[in-house]
Amino acid sequence: MKGSLTTRRSSAGAGRRRRPDDLGGLAPETLRALYVTMRRIRRAEETIVALYPEQEIRCPTHLSIGQEAAAAGVCQALRPTDTAVSTHRCHAHYLAKGGDLRGMFAELYGKATGCCGGKGGSMHLTAPEVGMLGASAIVGGSVPLAVGSALAASLRGIDEVAVAFFGDAAMEQGVTHESLAFAALRRLPVLFVCENNLYATNSPLTARQVAKDIAPRGAAHGVPGVIVDGNDVVGVYKGALAAVERARRGKGPTLIEIKTYRWREHVGPNYDVGPGGRTQAELDAWMAQDPLAALARRLERRRVLPAGHRETLERAVEEELEDAVAFAKASPFPDPAALYADVD
Amino acid sequence: MKPARELRYREAIDEATRQAMAKDERIVVLGVGVDDAKGIFGTTRGAFEQFGSARVFDTPLSEAALTGICVGAAMRGLHPVLVHARNDFLLLTMDQIVNNAAKWRYMSGGKLHVPFTIRAIIGRGWGQAAQHSQSLQAMFAHVPGLQVIMPATPGDAKGLLMTAYSTDSPVLCLEHRWLYETSGPVPEEPYYLPIGTAAVVREGSDVTIVAVSHMVVEALQAAEILAAAGIEAEIVDPRSLRPLDSDLICRSVAKTGRLVIADTGWRSYGVSGEIASRVGEELFGRLKAPIRRIALPDVPTPGSQKLEQVYYPGSSQLAAAVRQVVEGQGSSETDGRSRPRGATEFEGPF
């Protein structure tokens, strides 16, 4: 037990960076799936950026550009019957878990055909048909929901794993620690996935927490921690897969810290570098490690995904996006009576 | 029809829980101390003995996470029943109750439901003071998406809890500790009282008393005092605060023309104000007298028994308020405050 609680760094962790062409022994179809998921998230987010000035997406949007490997890598290790909950920054998790792109864009447009019928908006994307149970916009608020999902699976004897996606600031919330402790106590099949992107809105991690790493804090509750490089989707996937397999064997929860970075501002389509904010040098350094471009290069070099094949897959993503946006724009707004439905 | 069997309030809760669990294997009961020898004043121990630790289990004192865990479990095939020995502990869980339990169905466009029952006890007396004897129903009844029930009799406790245990919505059941040893008729078979339906506890023609939770007991005592003075009070127990049965309350007030509201919570921004405003909106021109409210003064609960006696309004004060409404000025309102209370109604410790 003692040994298993030592925080591990995956082979891709800081200091032991994956060799440029290391594909971790993954099957070509797994690697291609990871690429398509990340590309789909990246392009969906960039499409929001492009459309935002039209003032038709009238809700706050928290973009995951730069953090795609976290959602893609973790969800690739899950089955559709496994569950996930997320945060205000939930587009990537919704899409990686298998959420419908039309439903997402229609929700952003506030339409009746949205994945929440137009009642959730950008911060509460939900797709229970693929295990996406939704998201809370209160930091740390959704973490216990994943534990509850795992508790239900455990008590009902169902082979299911639950994932709580959250950010570094959620580690500052008591409910997160309560959730870690309870999951360990009952050895529940749950992954605590912390995307440490170094900022809570504009507050840097160093202004909020003493310890540099988050993963070791699980050990105090009996939850082993793993640190993975968020710019290396192969490392994220392998770290998540090990935690998922551990959970399925009845060994309990794992806390996975993914070192990552959001390229854009906390909320909205723009960048936020400048006086009083993040530095251009810091942003440039992270963008130089673009997880999507890094995977594309690796897959091309290893001939898993030659340029021509990649472009075909990318065209399919673009077509799906065009269709989703057209669908959202053409869809009707909710009937006024919907205001009073689904409550009490 | 055979005469109904009598049960104590706490026994009615225990029976409702066990009957519901026998019918529906999704129901699990959890909370601090639910499986210990006392089992939340006898309301959960029976279920533990009947169904075992897989379905009735102790938890850490992590009220916030446990509430969220119940929300997550509710969305995935369980109906958790989370029990708190004091409703004051619910303040630790406000984010999970208000932002998650009450809203998840709405935010998901109706895709997900949260069948989840929270039981919490309102303490009173025995020097429990400011953090163990609050009556916080107004805070929760304010929140759309959360049903709030406050059964005042053993029969209502069973029937309303059976309904709570069988609905797909989150329900908060607030149980006044002083009701736990009261007895009343409770049918043995399972039965379901609709949430959102008030009850006429006593019929009368001169004034309507809308009384909440333990104040129903006080109102019945007040009605006896009033009857001796020739005033027939009709007592309406809302039983559920959200949804609130405005129709029945307004029908009664339309008949009597007078309204006194008795709540176990604070006076300001509370249940009594909500009921008064609904009646005022519907029946302004038909009221024969101003609406009066009997509620807790706007101060925290004191510790000393002498101050408790001043703090809690009782049947005498309620009767005095009714006389003032019926007879006009001149009746004393203060004698209820000085009425000694104690061992005959409640023996501590909790």
Question: Distance (Å) from the C-alpha of residue B86 to the closest C-alpha of chain A?
Answer: 20
What is the rounded CA–CA span in Å between residue B229 and residue A117?
A: 59
Partner B contacted by A344 (CB < 8 A): yes
Q: Do residues B29 and B82 both lie within one domain? A: yes
Q: Is residue B235 part of a domain?
A: yes
Q: Which residues contact B57 (CB under 8 A, 6 or more apart)?
A: B28, B29, B30, B34, B35
What is the rounded CA–CA span in Å between residue A109 and residue A333?
A: 9
Question: Distance (Å) from the C-alpha of residue A121 to the closest C-alpha of chain B?
Answer: 8
pLDDT tens by residue, B259-309? 999 999 999 999 999 999 999 999 999 999 999 999 999 999 999 999 999
CA A301 to chain centre: 27
User: Do B70 and A148 make contact, defined as CB atoms within 8 angstroms?
Assistant: yes
> And the tokens for A163?
């994932």
Residue that terminates a domain, selected from B135, B150, B185: B185
Over A61-81, what HEC string results? CCCCCCCHHHHHHHHHCCCCC
Asked whether the predicted pLDDT for residue B69 surpasses 50, the reply is yes
Contacts of B28 in chain A (CB under 8 A): 155
Alpha helix (H) residue ranges in chain B? 9-23, 39-42, 45-51, 63-75, 94, 104-107, 137-141, 154-166, 215-228, 246-256, 271-283, 305-311, 315-327
- For A159-168, b/e burial (b = at least 16 CB within 10 A) is ebbbbbbbbb
The reported pLDDT for the residue numbered B339 is 46
Contacts of B55 in chain A (CB under 8 A): 155
- State the burial class of residue B57 (Cβ atoms within 10 Å of its Cβ: 0-12, 13-18, 19+): middle
Contacts of A117 in chain B (CB under 8 A): 109-110
Q: Is residue B348 part of a domain?
A: no
| Polymer length in residues for chain B | 350
Q: Is residue B143 part of a domain?
A: yes
Q: To the nearest whole percent, how much of chain B has pLDDT over 70?
A: 93
Contacts of B164 in chain A (CB under 8 A): none
User: Do A134 and B104 make contact, defined as CB atoms within 8 angstroms?
Assistant: yes
Contacts of B242 in chain A (CB under 8 A): 344
The reported pLDDT for the residue numbered A333 is 98
Partner A contacted by B73 (CB < 8 A): yes
Side chain identity, residue B134: Q
Q: Do residues B173 and B210 both lie within one domain? A: no
User: Do B106 and A343 make contact, defined as CB atoms within 8 angstroms?
Assistant: yes
Q: Do residues B126 and B231 both lie within one domain? A: no
Residue A119: which of B66, B109, B242 has the nearest Cβ?
Answer: B109
Q: Do residues B45 and B179 both lie within one domain? A: yes
Q: Is residue B58 part of a domain?
A: yes
Q: Do residues B257 and B153 both lie within one domain? A: no
Q: Is A3-17+27-328 a domain of CATH 1.10.3720.10?
A: no
- The domain ranges of chain A are 3-17+27-328
Q: What are the Cα distances from residue B197, in Å, to A11, B245, B249? A: 62, 5, 10
Element (DSSP H or E) covering residue B7: strand B6-8
A 180-209 → B contacts, CB under 8 A: 181-182, 185
User: Do B73 and A182 make contact, defined as CB atoms within 8 angstroms?
Assistant: no
Structural domains counted in chain B: 2
CB pairs under 8 A between A and B: 147
**Best residue of B53, B57, B76 to probe chain A, by most A CBs closer than 10 Å:** B76
B 163-222 → A contacts, CB under 8 A: 169
A 60-89 → B contacts, CB under 8 A: 83, 85
> And the tokens for B71?
């929300």
Q: Do residues B30 and B75 both lie within one domain? A: yes
> Is the C-alpha dihedral spanning A91, A95, A98, A102 positive or negative?
positive
CATH number of the domain where residue B279 is located: 3.40.50.920
Closest residue of chain A to B70, computed from CA coordinates = A148
Q: Do residues B20 and B129 both lie within one domain? A: yes
pLDDT tens by residue, A9-29? 764 444 456 666 789 999 999
> And the tokens for B85?
């020995």
Alpha helix (H) residue ranges in B117-214? 137-141, 154-166
Phi, psi at A219, each rounded to 5°: -60, -35
Is the ipTM of this structure higher than 0.90?
A: yes
Asked whether the predicted pLDDT for residue B338 surpasses 80, the reply is no
Q: Do residues B262 and B225 both lie within one domain? A: yes
Asked whether the predicted pLDDT for residue B341 surpasses 80, the reply is no
Using an 8 Å Cβ cutoff, are A179 and A241 in contact? Answer: no
Q: What is the DSSP string of A124-154?
A: G--BGGGTEEEE-SSTTTTHHHHHHHHHHHH
Q: What are the Cα distances from residue A228, in Å, to A196, A213, B102, B173? A: 10, 11, 36, 45
Torsion region of B344: left, alpha or beta (phi above 0 gives left; psi -120 to 50 gives alpha): alpha
Phi, psi at B143, each rounded to 5°: -95, 115
pLDDT lower than 50: segments of chain A: 1-3, 11-15
A193 DSSP β-pair partners: A165, A256
The reported pLDDT for the residue numbered A275 is 86
Q: Is residue B2 part of a domain?
A: no
A 323-342 → B contacts, CB under 8 A: 341-342
Q: Is residue B347 part of a domain?
A: no
Using an 8 Å Cβ cutoff, are B213 and B176 in contact? Answer: yes
What is the rounded CA–CA span in Å between residue A340 and residue A320?
A: 33
Contacts of B99 in chain A (CB under 8 A): 136, 138, 141
What is the rounded CA–CA span in Å between residue A260 and residue A166?
A: 12
* DSSP percent split of chain B into helix, strand, coil, nearest 5: 40, 20, 40
pLDDT tens by residue, B89-109? 999 999 999 999 999 999 999
Q: Three-state DSSP class for A270?
A: coil
User: Do B243 and A344 make contact, defined as CB atoms within 8 angstroms?
Assistant: yes
A204 DSSP β-pair partners: A199
CATH number of the domain where residue B54 is located: 3.40.50.970
User: Do A155 and B54 make contact, defined as CB atoms within 8 angstroms?
Assistant: yes
Q: Do residues B222 and B128 both lie within one domain? A: no
The reported pLDDT for the residue numbered A10 is 63
The reported pLDDT for the residue numbered A344 is 74
Residue B99: which of A115, A138, A162 has the nearest Cβ?
Answer: A138
**Best residue of A178, A190, A333 to probe chain B, by most B CBs closer than 10 Å:** A178
pLDDT tens by residue, B15-50? 999 999 999 999 999 999 999 999 999 999 999 999
Within 10 Å of residue A327's Cβ, how many Cβ atoms?
18
The reported pLDDT for the residue numbered A208 is 95
Contacts of B104 in chain A (CB under 8 A): 134
pTM as predicted? 0.95
Rounded to the nearest 5 degrees, what angle is found at the Cα of B40, between the Cα atoms of B39 and B42? Answer: 65
- State the burial class of residue A211 (Cβ atoms within 10 Å of its Cβ: 0-12, 13-18, 19+): exposed
Q: Is residue B257 part of a domain?
A: yes
Residue that terminates a domain, selected from B151, B185, B219: B185
Where do we find the tokens 């419908």?
A100
The reported pLDDT for the residue numbered A16 is 54
Using an 8 Å Cβ cutoff, are B198 and B235 in contact? Answer: no
Residue B62: which of A160, A182, A341 has the nearest Cβ?
Answer: A182
Q: Do residues B281 and B145 both lie within one domain? A: no
Q: Do residues B30 and B71 both lie within one domain? A: yes
Residue-range definition of the domain harbouring residue B303: 199-327
- In angstroms, the first-to-last Cα distance of chain A is 46
Over B284-337, what HEC string results? HHHCCCCCEEEEECCCCCCCCHHHHHHHCCCHHHHHHHHHHHHHCCCCCCCCCC
Q: Is residue B350 part of a domain?
A: no
Side chain identity, residue A84: A
User: Do A146 and B72 make contact, defined as CB atoms within 8 angstroms?
Assistant: yes
Using an 8 Å Cβ cutoff, are B187 and B5 in contact? Answer: yes
User: Do A133 and B99 make contact, defined as CB atoms within 8 angstroms?
Assistant: no
Phi, psi at A228, each rounded to 5°: -130, 160
B3 pLDDT band (50/70/90 cuts)?
Answer: low
What is the rounded CA–CA span in Å between residue B172 and residue B97?
A: 10
Rounded to the nearest 5 degrees, what angle is found at the Cα of A60, between the Cα atoms of A55 and A64? Answer: 110
User: Do B73 and A117 make contact, defined as CB atoms within 8 angstroms?
Assistant: no
What is the rounded CA–CA span in Å between residue B278 and residue A109?
A: 37
> Is the C-alpha dihedral spanning B9, B14, B17, B19 positive or negative?
negative
Closest residue of chain A to B143, computed from CA coordinates = A344
Partner B contacted by A128 (CB < 8 A): yes
What is the rounded CA–CA span in Å between residue A150 and residue A142?
A: 13
Residues of B classed as catalytic: 132
Where do we find the tokens 């998901």?
B108
Using an 8 Å Cβ cutoff, are A168 and B148 in contact? Answer: no
Asked whether the predicted pLDDT for residue B346 surpasses 70, the reply is no
Q: Three-state DSSP class for B181?
A: coil
Contacts of A136 in chain B (CB under 8 A): 99-100
A164 DSSP β-pair partners: A85, A192
Smallest CA-to-CA distance from B143 within B97, B176, B108, B175 is with B97
Q: Do residues B180 and B215 both lie within one domain? A: no
